[in-house]
Structure 1
Amino acid sequence: MAQFTFEGDFDILADPQIKLVESVLQKRGFTNGKVIVEPVGQKGDNYVAHVKRFIYEAEDGTSFKMIGKVAPVAEQIRLLMNTVIMFNNEITMYSQVLPKLDEIQNTAVATEDEKVRFPTCYGVVDEAPYEFILLEDLKEAGFEMLDRMEPLSKDGIRLAIKDLAKYHSLSYAFRNSEPELYENYSNRLLNMWAIMASAPETEQYFEALENDLINMIQNVSDKYKNVLKGALSQLAHFAKKIQNYEKGSKYSIIQQGDCWINNILFRLEDGKPIDSVMIDYQLSRESNPASDLLYLLFNCTDHANRKQHYEEWIDYYHEMLDDSLNLHGLKANRIFPKDQLDADLRRYGKMMVSLGLVLSSMLVRESKDVVDIKEMTGDNVVEDAKALMNSSTMDVATLGRLKEKIIGILDSALEFGLI
């Protein structure tokens, strides 16, 4: 009988989660040894899950590493963070959607360079409140997380755009070849932003954040104040309008949903990104490719580079989409023409600008200043979390970064006719 001992930071693990770890090790032929559990990353790297590294060490020196995403169990936190929905989405993606996409590309794509790399999923627990996802440790393959405070380099953003285009092409190929199964999977993915935006307490928070941002930049230019007015307080309206457009749209795909710097790992050579892999699929849902693309550009680049390269990046995305679709016997000019992409970028502009503004107040904070909501305790978690997210809690340097990011998003939106 297999005997494993757990050491380190494993106090939050429940029996179903420990049993999954043991089961995976047994399937790999390991029968005894210790499993060291370590926390992964810093505050601000992951807002929804506790992320742990599981290091198995056998008595003969053999080792094996995995990454585990552990759901919080405190009810207030779960309600605030919509844990059930977020983990349902990601479990669906890792256990069903991504394996299917990988199967499709392994059948049609000849070279590794033409493929999207998906993290191996060793198993999941979908039992609430013990949701758990056990994944490949990509650090073992040389992938690392870049500094989330810095915009992606030219090489980094082109790698990310290429990966996104290849991923979207797989989703189109899936939809084209197995429409019933595609619909089955896509129906299991819930639109987290629409759910959040329509909740009364979230609407109140967005209104407060909008006023906060207006007060922050009101001395810069009236044009920013005019653009900001309604950008967040009407987010629920934008989300509903987009949902109505997406119903039955032939251009929709199962999107990645959360393309920002922390969710794209890179392998470096002499400090230069040469390979990338997307992680974290909690916000995945059926939507339009333009949504993923704008999310990536607003959250991973700055205005100076967007102003210089925006059209080039859009063209590059569509070229890579066409190249990837060709591998599946499809053509971009039929599946998702360039003029449709351009129209959808404008159609999704207001929504994605709004989300960029919402996320800015989280993305500009140093790790020491991040509000780790999943670790909060007490009777007033929701109120305390909202208060701590307010810009009044930021120091001068963080406020400066936030102001620069907000103005950059607004400048880009105006420059490219997205609002």
Structure 2
Amino acid sequence: MLKSEAAISTKNAITVNSASSGDSLTPQQHQNEPLSPQILDAYREIAKRNAIDDFELSLQPIGGPGENSYGSVHKVLLTPKRALPTLTTLRPLHTILKIAPKSPARRAHMRVKDVYAREVFMYATVFSEFAALDATHDAAHCAHFSVAPQMLFASLEDSAEFIIFEDLSNAGFTINSRTNLPTYDLVVCAFRAIAQLHAMSFVLQARQPQRFAALVAQMDDNLFTLDMEVVSLEFGKKYVRRTRHMLEADLKESGEHTPQMEEVLQALQKIETNFHEICLDAVNGVAYAPYSVICHGDFWNNNILYEFDSTNQHVATKAKLIDFQISRYSPPILDLVHYLYACTEKPLRDAHFHEFMQIYYDTVTQFIRDYQLDPTILYPETIFRQQLRQFGAYGFCMSAFSVPFFVSNASELPDLDKVSEAVQELSSSSDSSDTDERNNEVGVEQQSGRSQQKSNKNDNNNAISPKSQSAAELVDEYDILTERTVPIFKKRMIGSVLDLQKYEMIEALLKY
């Protein structure tokens, strides 16, 4: 593969010649994020496909400190300087470049290699299968899969992963800032887009069941795993517990500790105690087949781009989905409750919750019908409603993970590399302590006999493990909420748990 030689211009752009070679290069404004030879080669390949010879790359970072958990993201404009003879006009190419983080601790903590592989798998394999279905689709007037950008290039070289996408902003799509709550029209567009993704799974499963089974067999969950780090679990449990304490204080002050509110408090206690098990159950797509689909997995405000009405820039008309790094095989309802509880507030849900759900379900069923299939068989509405009640608590769990971040400004968030290093250090020390503790327990059991062994096991079941205690202390050390964000967090989280009761989602928690 040829390498590029680039000269940094006074405009902080990179001029690339397709026939030269050289080292990695860094634009003057981005000294900490060099473009590697592999990335420059990728842009040369993209240019070649578009009959472009020499070109200039201009970079603009997206997001600030503490954002873009799975790496750095840049807008990259490829401006032609000379075209090949086959090209008559010079048109710039607008792209998005996503680069994996280099920190070993962060890579391990966030399973970076796995999530980049998952996103490439979604674009290169899953979406290709959807496109093949579209190619054999008879009805030209019906909808086709169109809710994701095009992937232009990807490299999964270990510790140097990167992906290049088309930049949808050039086509008029924009992001809704994570500090702006989604409005009615944004939710409707988002739900129609996610419905299209889910519907294509039902169609593929019906048309090519063996191929669908082969795809989802490769989609073990990247977030909720049996060996999930204790620190991550303690983070979620901490903010469930904090919500419970806030609600208890409000009820004590108001004197409104009714049986209904007692049920809500019990639900919060159930979620905290069984946080891991609740999430593991929910993401187990195989257990709920054939009513599981390929889900987005990280369906929230900043992973959706919107197109607005040309005559009214305040009204969204269409949405596209990005960031498929933790896509999974699971019940489709997980994406919906994740979005609603993590990204919207109770007044909007009070006014439109059932309407949002109906819009989603109607979109799914219409899409399935467009492929001459029967939605009452592939995804009956009774199953949809049952899943909504069964997995609502998952949306609250994801709120506990995400709302502290969503309500914070970039300047209020910790350095992810430092946090990951602290987690790695804790994990190493805890593993050593666990080994010593197991050795001590063996010694006690050998000295005291079977009765003492049984007593020790009972004591351990009722105690917090040293590893969990250390993880909880680390989470407290990196507490995200501030005086400014605590009231916002409280309003959102209490509103969400009250909706678990309102929409009959608490009963499913009683089995734990």
TM-score of the pair, normalised by structure 2: 0.75
> What does 1:113-192 correspond to in 2, within 5 Å?
115-192=145-222
**Alignment pair present for 1:334 and 2:377:** yes
Task: Determine the C-alpha separation between the residues in 1 that align with 2:338 and 2:288.
Answer: 22
Task: Determine the C-alpha separation between the residues in 1 that align with 2:146 and 2:249.
Answer: 46
Secondary structure, counterpart of 1:411 in structure 2:
helix
2:408 to 333, 340, 365: 365
Q: Does structure 2 conserve the Cα–Cα contact (< 8 Å) formed by 1:85 and 1:190?
A: no
Q: Does structure 2 conserve the Cα–Cα contact (< 8 Å) formed by 1:53 and 1:66?
A: yes
Displacement of 1:285: 0.9
Displacement of 1:327: 0.9
Q: Does structure 2 conserve the Cα–Cα contact (< 8 Å) formed by 1:151 and 1:300?
A: yes
Displacement of 1:317: 1.4
Give the partner amino acid of 1:63: P
Equivalent position of 1:34 in the other structure: 56
1:390 to 479, 484, 497: 479
Gaps (5+ residues) in structure 2? Answer: 7-13, 15-25, 83-89, 252-256, 427-472, 507-512
Q: Does structure 1 conserve the Cα–Cα contact (< 8 Å) formed by 2:109 and 2:420?
A: no
Higher RCO structure, 1 or 2 (CA under 8 Å, sep 6+) = 1
1:242 to 254, 268, 282: 282
Secondary structure, counterpart of 1:89 in structure 2:
helix
Q: Does structure 2 conserve the Cα–Cα contact (< 8 Å) formed by 1:197 and 1:236?
A: no
Equivalent position of 1:302 in the other structure: 345
Task: Determine the C-alpha separation between the residues in 2 that align with 1:102 and 1:370.
Answer: 39
Task: Determine the C-alpha separation between the residues in 1 that align with 2:337 and 2:94.
Answer: 34
Give the partner amino acid of 1:413: L
Task: Determine the C-alpha separation between the residues in 1 that align with 2:294 and 2:374.
Answer: 18
Give the partner amino acid of 1:399: V
**Alignment pair present for 1:66 and 2:95:** yes
More deviation, 73-82/235-244? 235-244
Displacement of 1:134: 0.7
Q: Does structure 2 conserve the Cα–Cα contact (< 8 Å) formed by 1:89 and 1:188?
A: no
Displacement of 1:251: 0.9
Displacement of 1:184: 2.3
1:104 to 133, 146, 157: 133
Displacement of 1:273: 0.6
Q: Does structure 2 conserve the Cα–Cα contact (< 8 Å) formed by 1:92 and 1:185?
A: no
Task: Determine the C-alpha separation between the residues in 1 that align with 2:388 and 2:76.
Answer: 41
> What does 1:380-419 correspond to in 2, within 5 Å?
380=422, 386-387=475-476, 389-391=478-480, 394-419=481-506
Displacement of 1:364: 1.0
Equivalent position of 1:54 in the other structure: 76
Equivalent position of 2:41 in the other structure: 19
Q: Does structure 1 conserve the Cα–Cα contact (< 8 Å) formed by 2:296 and 2:335?
A: yes
Equivalent position of 1:226 in the other structure: 266
Give the partner amino acid of 2:207: S
Gaps (5+ residues) in structure 1? Answer: none
TM-score of the pair, normalised by structure 1: 0.90
Equivalent position of 1:214 in the other structure: 244
Task: Determine the C-alpha separation between the residues in 2 that align with 1:141 and 1:18.
Answer: 24
Give the partner amino acid of 2:46: V
Count of residue pairs brought into register by the alignment:
416
More deviation, 239-248/377-386? 377-386
Q: Does structure 2 conserve the Cα–Cα contact (< 8 Å) formed by 1:252 and 1:289?
A: yes
Secondary structure, counterpart of 2:223 in structure 1:
helix
Secondary structure, counterpart of 1:147 in structure 2:
coil
